Each structure stands twice: as structure tokens, then as C-alpha cells.
């Protein structure tokens, strides 16, 4: 055991399914300027309006998928943390959440008190987005500065195209894809299109033509969430030997009226059912742990919608969670994280 800690960071969850806890969580999440990238007064007004009805609706959704041990996302992330303690030999393995508890500030402060001088920071997001990866890094920077912590950081880069991640996806999904099914839908979390435009380093590439992501340069690809999602999907399909037409990509979890990345998962489920697809498998490769977006949005509401549209069966393929193959893959990915901060 050495003094080089591994800090896994996932999104977070309300402390409970109570409306008050869900409201507090949503307020912290939605007020993050990397999530809703509007000026503070506009963001505060918008979030206040959202918090009128959304907490009660979300509390009901959380309650429908909540486990005896707590939030599925937190429980599964804890299990991954435990699995990683058998892989990471440089020091302690800790878990933090960007929103809710345990917070990045709480965990980094505790590590500093233990004399830890080096931390590998691992945002558990395969594809890059400001609203996921950047906000984790910036929060770590804020804590280090505010607390005057003396730490060196290595930061795990988005691993959407890393062989270890893709092989773990294949190992996790193969038992499901060996069964009979009509279509595989790879449903990634969505983002407002403006988030992609803002991060386009050329200023004139994103959405200029239908093939913009397929033709993205290395410079554009580094920060283009949609292009990275499509690369993940294509690489996975090639590894699985899936023929064209047997699989497709969509984007879920749209919030508000702004235009988000298309096609939307809801629309795709309807269209596939109307095209005669009876049994559909859905994978969510933007999430490494099952959560409300997979279990409730896809596993419950998505299934109900698909059947109402004429489909017969929707099977949600579990996320990587704490699979041994994933723990080993993540360890390899973390081992090569470059120094930063």
C-alpha cells in the first residue's frame, strides 16, 4: 500500500426518495453552470420553476427503483469501489459523487488528512461533456484551492474508444445478444445541441452536415460528445459482429424545450415498434452503473412506451456495474492517466 489514492467519481443521487431530499439534490445538480449553461439569474429563475413540480415527479420515479440498500447508483458504485480495491495496488480507493454525498470535498479533505499526496481522479464517464467530466475536474480544483491541499492529480481521460472499456462492454452484453432479438438500441444520455456548438474548437464544424461526427478531426473529436458516442457504438457493433440494420443509436433524458441531440430515444422506440420490431434490447453505454436513467426511464417507462406502440418485449441490458471484467479494465485505464491539475 502506498500513498497514491484512486478517486472514483459518479454523478450522485438524492439522500432518499423524500420530496425534500430530491428537491435539494436537483437544486444542486441543475444550478451547476456546466449543466445549465445560462447566466446565473436566468439559471436561478429556470431552476426555481423546474423545482415547483419536478421534485415530486422525480421522487416518485426514484421510489420505483430504490433498493433496500439505497440508491442503485450509489450502491453499485460502492460495489465497484470494493472491486477496485482488489485491482488498484497503489493506495486507497475512494468514491465521491459530484452532487450529494459523499462529496468530492469531503473525500479529498479526508484523503489529505491521511497524508495522501497523489490522487488519480477518475470521472466515471466514457464520453466527454462539460456537464460530466469538466464539472468534476473543476470541483476538484476548487476544493484543492479552497482547502489549500497539497496534492498531485492524474486525471482519467474519456475512455469511449479504449479497448479495455469496449471489451468489458462486449463481455457484459454478449449473454443478452446471444438470445433472439429483433433490434439493439444503444441509448446514450442526451445533451442540448448548444453544448456541442460551444465546444467546437473550429467554430464551424458541428451540425454543418449530416456526417459531421463521422468526419470529425482529432481536434473536434476530443470534445465532441456526439462523435464519441457514435465511435463507441460503431466500435461495439464491430466487436460484436452486428450487421447494419440490427442496431441503432438514440439519445435520452431530454429536459426542457431546447433542441437536444437527435434522434430521441422516445421517438426511436415508437418508430421501431411501428416498423414491426417485437423484441428490442436496449443498452446505455454512457452510464457505467445502472441508475434512474436506465432502470426507470428505459426499464420502466421505455418498456411501457414500446409495448403501447406495438412492441412486445423490451430487455434492458445491465450497465457494467461491478463486473470483474470492468473492474480490471478500469484499473488499466486509470493506471495510464496523465498528470494534470
SS3 146: helix
Instruction: Please give the grid coordinates belonging to residue 47.
Output: 431552476
Q: Is 4 annotated as a binding residue?
A: no
Burial of 18 (0-12, 13-18, 19+ CB in 10 A): middle
Do residues 269 and 185 touch, judged by C-beta distance below 8 A? yes
Q: Is 189 annotated as a binding residue?
A: yes
Kind of pairing between the strands at 118-123 and 4-12? parallel
Q: Which helix (H) or strand (E) holds 164?
A: helix 163-177
Interhelix angle for 40-65 vs 19-30, to 10°?
140
Q: Which helix (H) or strand (E) holds 11?
A: strand 4-12
C-alpha separations of 91 from 3, 105, 112, 119, 173 in Å: 5, 19, 13, 9, 31
Instruction: Please give the grid coordinates belonging to residue 315.
Output: 430487455
Supply φ then ψ for residue 94, to 5 degrees: -120, 160
Alpha-carbon distance 120 to 136, whole Å? Answer: 13
Alpha-carbon distance 129 to 226, whole Å? Answer: 9
Distance of CA 193 to the CA centre of its chain: 17
| DSSP code of residue 67 | B
List, as one string, the DSSP characters of 165-222: HHHHHHHHHHHHHTS--SEEEEEEEP-BHHHHHHH-TTSS-TTSSTTTTTT--HHHHT
Binding residues for Fe(2+): 189, 293
Binding residues: 189, 293
Amino acid at each position: 500500500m502506498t500513498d497514491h489514492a484512486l478517486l472514483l467519481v459518479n454523478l450522485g443521487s438524492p439522500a432518499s426518495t423524500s420530496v425534500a431530499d430530491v428537491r435539494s439534490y436537483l437544486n444542486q445538480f441543475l444550478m451547476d453552470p456546466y449543466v445549465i449553461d445560462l447566466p446565473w439569474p436566468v439559471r436561478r429563475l429556470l431552476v426555481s420553476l423546474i423545482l415547483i413540480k419536478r421534485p415530486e415527479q422525480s421522487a416518485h420515479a426514484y421510489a420505483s427503483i430504490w433498493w433496500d440498500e439505497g440508491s442503485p447508483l450509489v450502491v453499485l458504485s460502492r460495489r465497484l469501489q470494493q472491486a477496485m480495491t482488489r485491482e488498484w495496488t497503489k493506495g486507497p480507493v475512494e468514491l465521491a459523487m459530484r452532487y450529494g454525498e459523499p462529496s468530492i470535498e469531503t473525500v479529498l479533505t479526508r484523503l489529505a488528512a491521511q497524508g495522501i499526496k497523489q490522487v488519480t481522479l477518475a470521472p466515471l464517464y466514457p464520453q466527454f461533456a462539460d456537464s460530466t467530466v469538466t464539472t468534476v475536474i473543476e470541483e476538484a480544483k476548487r476544493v484543492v484551492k479552497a482547502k489549500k491541499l497539497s496534492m498531485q492529480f492524474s486525471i482519467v481521460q474519456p475512455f469511449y474508444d479504449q479497448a479495455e472499456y469496449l471489451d468489458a462492454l462486449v463481455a457484459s452484453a454478449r449473454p443478452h445478444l446471444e438470445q433472439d432479438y429483433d433490434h439493439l438500441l444503444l441509448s446514450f444520455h442526451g445533451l442540448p445541441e448548444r453544448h456541442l456548438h460551444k465546444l467546437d474548437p473550429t467554430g464551424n464544424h458541428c451540425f454543418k452536415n449530416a456526417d459531421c461526427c463521422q468526419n470529425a478531426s482529432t481536434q473536434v473529436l476530443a470534445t465532441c460528445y456526439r462523435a464519441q458516442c457514435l465511435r463507441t457504438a460503431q466500435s461495439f457493433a464491430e466487436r460484436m459482429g452486428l450487421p447494419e440494420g440490427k442496431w441503432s443509436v438514440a439519445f435520452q433524458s431530454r429536459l426542457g424545450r431546447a433542441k437536444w441531440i437527435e434522434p430521441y430515444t422516445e421517438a426511436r422506440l415508437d418508430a421501431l415498434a411501428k416498423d414491426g420490431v417485437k423484441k428490442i434490447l436496449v443498452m446505455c453505454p454512457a452510464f457505467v452503473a445502472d441508475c434512474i436513467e436506465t432502470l426507470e426511464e428505459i426499464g420502466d417507462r421505455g418498456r411501457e412506451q414500446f409495448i403501447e406502440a406495438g412492441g412486445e418485449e423490451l430487455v434492458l441490458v445491465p450497465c457494467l456495474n461491478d463486473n470483474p471484467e470492468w473492474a480490471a479494465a478500469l484499473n488499466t485505464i486509470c493506471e495510464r492517466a496523465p498528470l494534470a491539475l
